[in-house]
Amino acid sequence: MKKPYNFNGLKVTSFESRRAIEIEKLILYHGGVPRVAPSMREVPISESKEALKFAKELIAGNFDLVILMTGVGTRALIKAVSTKFDIKNIKSALKKTTIVARGPKPVAALREMKLKANIVVPEPNTWRDILIALENETELKGKKVAVQEYGISNKEFISSLRKKGAKVTSVPIYKWALPEDIEPLKAAIQSISNSKEDIALFTSSQQIYHLFEVAGKIGYLKKLKQGLKSTVIGSIGPTTSETLNRVGITPDYEPDSPKMGNLIREVARIGAELVNKKRIALKNGVDTNIWRPVDMIWSKGSQKSRKAITNDSVFMKACRLEETDYTPVWLMRQAGRYMREYRELRSKVSFLELCKTPELAAEVTLRAVDRLNVDAAIIFADILLIVEPLGVGLEFSKGEGPRIKRPVRSGKAVDRIKDFDPESLKYVYDALKITRRALDPNKALIGFAGAPFTVASYMIEGGGSRNYENTKGLMYRDPGAWHMVMEKLSTATASYLNNQIKAGADVVQLFDSWVGCLSRDDYKEFVLPHMKKLISDIKSGTPVIHFGTGTAALLDLIKESGSQVIGLDWRVDLDKAWKQIGYDKAIQGNLDPVLLFSTPSEIRKRTKKIIDKAKGRPGFIFNLGHGILPKTPVDNVLALIDFVHEYTHK
């Protein structure tokens, strides 16, 4: 396995101009062979009538907000207006307005003038983020707004401000032009067109326009687009990605934070995998100029041959207690709200729509694997999807989580539970089929369901609970009704998981998030018999991962249920738990998810302790002790995964 953050000799082209030397050094530092082809230069508008008009109105107090889009533009604007106006008057007038800075660069430029921004737009600093920041901080209707623009005017942004009732004045201060020497750009176009470059990095939208402009001038436009099909495209952020999409190119990677260093470091991290994937897709007939993760075709061979590759993967070997070259790692809730790509998709569809649209569920699943470089995918779904066809009603309320419309709290309510129709969850099976086809055969696909106790608790409580009064009340008051609920759920869950396996799941996991509320005696009487029956009904040869939280007192009983892999939460000591369970079972776990909010060095230290407790035994799968939390920094997740791979590689 290659060392993280290393291009390992890949040829990397950058179109950066102002920071060309810096980006070349970064590519070299990360083991790449750089080609820097400057694609633009900033030309200040020295006699800017708009800038002087802006200064006059600013001093007259005619602006409520001033939006500064770039650091270079902020400096250029002040320089332009200071030729005709006293700089003290400009500063004084700015202090009387609301200054909006699009990220840290305008903030730094303001600091040089001993001025402070009233509103700083957070990353990724797109024009949409500016709108959100303004909506959170101020009312736009009727406000007079000046926007320091750069290069090409952002018509969408200006239009959006006006639609919200703002009176907008655009203040262009510099424009983009081609470099005086375009020979390096021509050479880069020819090299990409001839498929001699591995990766192309774009750090601004204007680079894309100029690249295509020059390609057209030299008669290489068609050849360039063809060459880009086998070249991995790195985009610094959402605005650049939107421009790439506009010209018919899909970016292959975009970092969570739109910074040049992050782009290079993260593309170096998985560059070889991205290049390999894109070229295999192209070879198999995929149009890699405009494509989605679900379009990937790894092999035109039989499903049987792909299954053989998956069975020999590091993850599957660990499930079977076989020796592996390194410790496999995946993370519960690895496709979730902490990822920008997921949040963007969720802003367009509801949670249930996402679950019930196979292509979208598959896309979310695949994007997480591509981004994180984990050893297994877990299909995007929810443990409560199974209750909808049982007739109890399911809804997801914003801010409140899942709610059961008709809670099951009596024997009569239990009798009304419908028989499970496996076809009612066909959308999950379809998502699995799409994912398995588009997923690297060397990575396992995990299907899952909620364990009967946790799902029953949701159905009885009607939602989340702290003390499970209704659940335990039914269990103690009417054991017959309780066992009937568990029997119905066990039968339904076995059918559901077997259909997932048939659709392409290589492994299945049972989530028993609430079972830790039970005593040993209650677990033995009210849960264990049903878990044994459920797991015995799952297709033979498919590994089952049994994960619960708060289960330190139940681990030996959980072993009796028959699963091949037992997941541990962060509250237990891994080596003691494994010894208690027995080394004839594989173990998964168990870093505290909150540790991902600390520093990379602390994450590595704590992760090392857990790995060392496994003592190199076969059958260890690294994971968190529960799911990734919504605000977890993506960079820390990447650091965790890379450390597990690097530290355990033999």
- Annotated catalytic residue within 41, 320, 337, 571: 337
CA distance 634 to 337: 11
| Angle ∠(8,10,12) on CA atoms, nearest 5 | 130
Contact 315, 620 (CB under 8 A): no
Contact 552, 526 (CB under 8 A): no
Strands 199-202 and 11-14: parallel
User: Given phi > 0 = left and psi -120 to 50 = alpha, else beta, which region is 586?
Assistant: beta
Distances (CA, A) of 192 to 13, 208, 227, 242: 9, 14, 5, 21
Nearest to 207 by CA among 72, 42, 40: 40
CA distance 538 to 76: 68
- 333 is known as an active-site residue: yes
Residue 561 carries which DSSP code?
Answer: T
CA distance 407 to 419: 17
Kind plus residue range of the DSSP H or E element containing 193? helix 183-193
CA distance 499 to 494: 9
Tell me the two tokens of residue 263. Answer: 């782009």
**Is-cis flag, bond preceding 124, omega within 30?**
yes
Nearest to 4 by CA among 30, 33, 34: 30
Report the residue count for the chain: 650
Residue with tokens 């960079």: 635
The DSSP annotation for 290-310 comes to: S--GGG----SS-HHHHHHHH
Residue type present at position 74: T
- Annotated catalytic residue within 64, 295, 370, 382: 382
CA distance 339 to 319: 28
Distances (CA, A) of 296 to 264, 278, 290, 503: 24, 8, 11, 17
Orientation angle between helical segments 155-163 and 127-137, nearest 10 degrees: 20
- 269 is known as an active-site residue: no
Residue 629 carries which DSSP code?
Answer: P
CA distance 551 to 520: 10
Task: Give the HSE-up count for residue 635: Cα atoms under 13 Å, Cβ half-sphere.
Answer: 14
- Annotated catalytic residue within 346, 403, 437, 604: 346
Distances (CA, A) of 470 to 232, 407, 409: 55, 10, 7
CA distance 526 to 452: 11
- Annotated catalytic residue within 269, 333, 340, 436: 333
Contact 149, 175 (CB under 8 A): no
Kind plus residue range of the DSSP H or E element containing 590? strand 586-591
Distances (CA, A) of 391 to 382, 386, 408, 415, 510: 17, 10, 10, 11, 22
- 343 is known as an active-site residue: no
- Annotated catalytic residue within 5, 174, 458, 523: 458
Residue type present at position 210: H
Nearest to 90 by CA among 80, 99, 81: 81
Active-site annotation, residues: 333, 337, 346, 382, 458
